[in-house]
Structure 1
Amino acid sequence: MPNPGGEDSLTPGSPAAVQRLAHVGLRADLETLGFGIAGHGCATCIGNAGPLLPAVADGVETRGR
């Protein structure tokens, strides 16, 4: 379920994966839920989604997590 206070994205492994999602009817469902395709391959999972919220960045700096 999308987070109303954050951004939701989907980064399939390849353009072919996006085509497959569309072919089986899941891409439209995911977009309806608020998940837009941000790119292909490694992205949000490894931190390529932009800066952290200040409270999260502070927690990482002060507590290491």
Structure 2
Amino acid sequence: MLVLRRKLNESIMIGDNIEVKILEMDGDQIKLGIEAPTDIDIFRSELYKTIQQENNLAATQEIDLSTLFNK
């Protein structure tokens, strides 16, 4: 893991087209601004983990196709 120190209004670049900027600091919280192309999904890590769990669950469930065609 890369660890960097940044001050208010400073930023870091990820690759050529993602910028993460420190917008505000309030006690133990910071507000980040992220500029990235619209085709890149950005999620909070806890939401991303939930999405991955739901996708894994959906991928492992069996579907009874006969119910779709026997109407």
- Whether these two folds match at TM > 0.5 is no
Larger RCO of the pair (alpha carbons < 8 Å, separation 6+): 1
- Which structure shows the higher strand fraction? 2
**TM-score, normalising length: structure 2:** 0.23
Larger radius of gyration between Structure 1 and Structure 2: 2
TM-score by length of 1: 0.24
Bigger helix fraction: 1
